[in-house]
Copies of this chain bind each other. A is one copy, B any other.
């Protein structure tokens, strides 16, 4: 389900979803918070596909934490719409990772959401350079 195009400075994946009725609110569109759920699920699937296991990292003392989310809402999704979340990941400085994520409706490609999610790796609660993660993600 995830198609990776490995690159030097970033890494790409895409994951398909369909809107479920319970994700829509009074206004008949997907509630704004639920896009964060879609984006989170796409990030986790992406990292796992690259061999990055949260539980193994945690056992080794490293945690990944989201520190900032920016989302531009361009057009709403409605009940039963199909869509794809495209995610790219890149280094931001020496200790941060940034996910650039976009949601497009299927099949017409309408641009729904544009997002940037920044995360940091911590060891024992302190920010640390996640060399192992950078290596697994093929980021230089």
- List residues of A whose CB falls within 8 A of some B CB: 20-22, 24-26, 28, 31-34, 36-37, 40-41, 44, 48, 65-73, 79-80
Contacts and interface: CB of A to CB of B under 8 A. Distances in A.
Contacts of A22: 25, 31, 33, 37, 40-41
Given A22-B25, A41-B20, A66 B36 contact: no
Nearest to A68: B72
11 contacts: A20-B37, A21-B44, A24-B26, A32-B69, A33-B33, A33-B40, A48-B80, A67-B72, A68-B70, A68-B71, A69-B70
Nearest to A79: B26
Give the interface SS of chain A, mostly helix, strand, loop or mixed: mixed
Contacts of A33: 22, 33-34, 36-37, 40
Given A25-B22, A34-B33, A37-B33, A73 B66 contact: yes
Contacts of A70: 68-71
Given A24-B25, A69-B69, 14 more contacts: A20-B41, A21-B25, A22-B40, A26-B79, A32-B66, A32-B69, A33-B36, A33-B37, A33-B40, A65-B73, A67-B72, A68-B73, A69-B70, A70-B70
Nearest to A20: B41
